[in-house]
Structure 1
Amino acid sequence: MITVLLVDDQPLIRLGFRMVLGSASDLELVGEAENGAVAVRLVRELDPDVVLMDIRMPVMDGIEATREITASAPRSKVLILTTFDLDEYAFAALNAGASGLLLKDADPTELINAVRTISRGDAVIAPRMTRRLLDTFADRMPTPARRVPVPDNLTRLTPREREVLIEVAAGLSNSEIAERLTVAETTVKTHLGRILSKLGLRDRVQVVVFAYQNGMIEGT
């Protein structure tokens, strides 16, 4: 069973998601929270696999709650639920450690599949959607004049791993990267796993954020 914690300040929205989650035999809703502070406490108590997190809430918003959860309970993956495709807080949520974004009006099947994907440690944002999101927030990224030095752990990557990192950040899927680099898709997955381990990142979403913040993408 995949255990889920639902976080939203609106009871009717929680009711709707509760019904959707209840329709999947492999998902178990173990708790609900009306704000981020309660969510942080319940994550410590319940140790859920996935946290469905709203952004705008009283007491503590979803961004701060995500930051605390990913720092103190990294096993619990956070899936941000947002009203708008490119919500102004979306990038901040990803930067805080969320593993993906999902619109609140997603169909039930999409929500269920997203929870399953997040529980496996993958991201639920399509690569091209990730690129579009980051392009929208490009003005918040470091410019060449104020860019911080590249972290030392980046030097641990092999030339091929750097190539894969850049392709991921450019919005390509694993199969597209495999075709471009003329390697097997399983090889790309292996390289991506090593990149995550060496850079201390959670998933491909954070790989993209890392690459943009460190000026590894042309034009950033």
Structure 2
Amino acid sequence: MDTNPVLVAGVSMLLQEDGSVAAKALTVSTGQSMLADLVAADIAPETDLIIIDPCQFGDQLEAALEIIDAGLSKKPRYIAYCSATDVNDQDMVRSLLTLGFSGVVSKQVDLQVVKIAVASVRHGLVHVEQGFAEALLHASHGATEEQTLIDRVRKIPLEAELTEREAFVLRAVAFGKSMKEIGHELDLSSKTVETYKARGASKLGLRTRKDIVGYALQSGWVIQQ
């Protein structure tokens, strides 16, 4: 959901391309009427994932989440689709993760990254766009509550400089998915998925699926909630 009807329509169409996701575009007004729009919104009770720009709701964000949760059969996972342009805003990422968001993605990235984030979160993973993740990891001071957030973010082997797709493919491989299954989720051919797998594995010095699984378990960048 967003105040921009063109954006929500585009994201909705992208997510439904391969038929694996049923998505609904919901436009909300700006200002004080936002919460009223949510109360009146026709959100299916079985909805299990919400993409929302938390910056648009400001200090009404928690109230907005409560309204959404109240109309659903179970608490959904949330992805923050942020209009904030500063990927160094660690406070924002900390706040969203503390509220229970499972994904944080900037509107400045390619829409395909949103699709990858959705696939990751649907698998029970936490997906934080690499720029946000790097800023949060580098700013960590080791406090207990801070470490809890860091552990949720550590799903990307940052030192290897993997792309979003390489990281997603390797995570999916670690969970036992085939190239065909991964390709279906990303709307890519099996050959292209294999290329991303090979590039990512090469950056990490991994050669076999067993190596990938072992790395995932040892490094902690594949984390189930």
TM-score if structure 1 supplies the norm length? 0.52
Question: 1:79-106 CA deviation, whole Å, 9 max, x = no partner?
Answer: 0001222445332122111001011132
Pairs within 5 Å for 1:199-210 = 203=225
- 1:111 aligns to what SS in structure 2? helix
Number of residue equivalences: 163
Say yes or no: does 1:184 pair with 2:214.
yes
Q: Do the aligned partners of 1:63 and 1:92 also contact (CA within 8 Å) in 2? A: no
Q: Do the aligned partners of 1:131 and 1:169 also contact (CA within 8 Å) in 2? A: no
Say yes or no: does 1:100 pair with 2:103.
yes
The structural deviation recorded for 1:70 is 6.7
> Could you tell me how far apart the structure 2 residues matched to 1:86 and 1:74 are?
33
The structural deviation recorded for 1:54 is 0.7
Aligned to 1:25: 19
Q: Do the aligned partners of 1:8 and 1:53 also contact (CA within 8 Å) in 2? A: yes
Identify, as 1 or 2, the structure richer in strand.
Answer: 1
1:9 partner letter: T
Aligned to 1:46: 45
Distance 1:185-1:78 versus aligned 2 partners, 3 A rule: same
> Could you tell me how far apart the structure 2 residues matched to 1:106 and 1:170 are?
18
TM-score if structure 2 supplies the norm length? 0.51
Aligned to 1:208: none
Q: Between the two proteins, what is the percent identity of the paired residues?
A: 16
The structural deviation recorded for 1:110 is 1.5
Say yes or no: does 1:11 pair with 2:5.
yes
> Could you tell me how far apart the structure 2 residues matched to 1:91 and 1:166 are?
7
Aligned to 2:80: 80
Q: Do the aligned partners of 2:105 and 2:129 also contact (CA within 8 Å) in 1? A: no
- 1:28 aligns to what SS in structure 2? coil
> Could you tell me how far apart the structure 1 residues matched to 2:9 and 2:149 are?
41
Q: Do the aligned partners of 1:48 and 1:76 also contact (CA within 8 Å) in 2? A: yes
Pairs within 5 Å for 1:48-63 = 48-57=47-56, 61-63=60-62
